[in-house]
Amino acid sequence: MSATAERNPADDHVVLGKLTSPYGVKGWLKVYSYTSPMEGILDYEAWVLRHQGRLVRYRLAQGRPHGKGLVARLEGVEGREQAEALAGAEILLPKAELPELNGDDEFYWYQLEGLKVVTADGVPLGRISYLFETGANDVMVVKGRDGEAVDSRERLLPFLPGEVVRDVDLETGVMTVDWDPEF
């Protein structure tokens, strides 16, 4: 970043979900939530929407479970046409508004994405590209890059603190794992 470059305001936010499509004719939208539980997204009264390169703040007027998903109505969105215009928008929350974590071994996924992953023996495996949830545990997708890892493979590592994950150092951006580089 150059001295004159402005910081991207989206860097101060975490993605909670997205608006997928209109629901009905009164301005409601279907919501795809990344929170766990999925209804947790409805606990935040103010949403920042990123849509077509712009950030716009909306207040959540109403929200509720509907079928296997969620629907919500935002203040100022009164009809289907206005809802259609917001379809596809990401729902953001300023990182400063996230609840405090309880322990040293708890992390938000955004904090782990991009960390360099090395084995306990110092073998570099790559960087955490993203995480996903399974029934048993969360899984980290670690992608190796030429010159930065032992190989260019993609590895799926379970996020199991104390077993697989030995140390997470957010200051240095390094996660140490107990993992065989051959896997």
pLDDT digits (tens, 9 = 90+) for 86-127: 999 999 998 888 888 887 778 988 899 999 999 999 999 999
What would be the CATH architecture of the domain defined by 109-177?
A: Roll (2.30)
Please report, as a single letter, which amino acid is at residue 117: V
CA distance 83 to 87: 6
> CATH number of the domain at 10-97, out of 2.40.30.60, 3.40.50.300, 3.40.1390.10, 3.20.20.70?
2.40.30.60
Q: Domain residue spans in the chain?
A: 10-97, 109-177
Sign of the CA dihedral 30, 33, 39, 45?
negative
Q: Which pTM was predicted?
A: 0.71
Give 20-56 pLDDT, tens digit per residue: 999 999 999 999 998 888 999 999 999 999 999 899 9
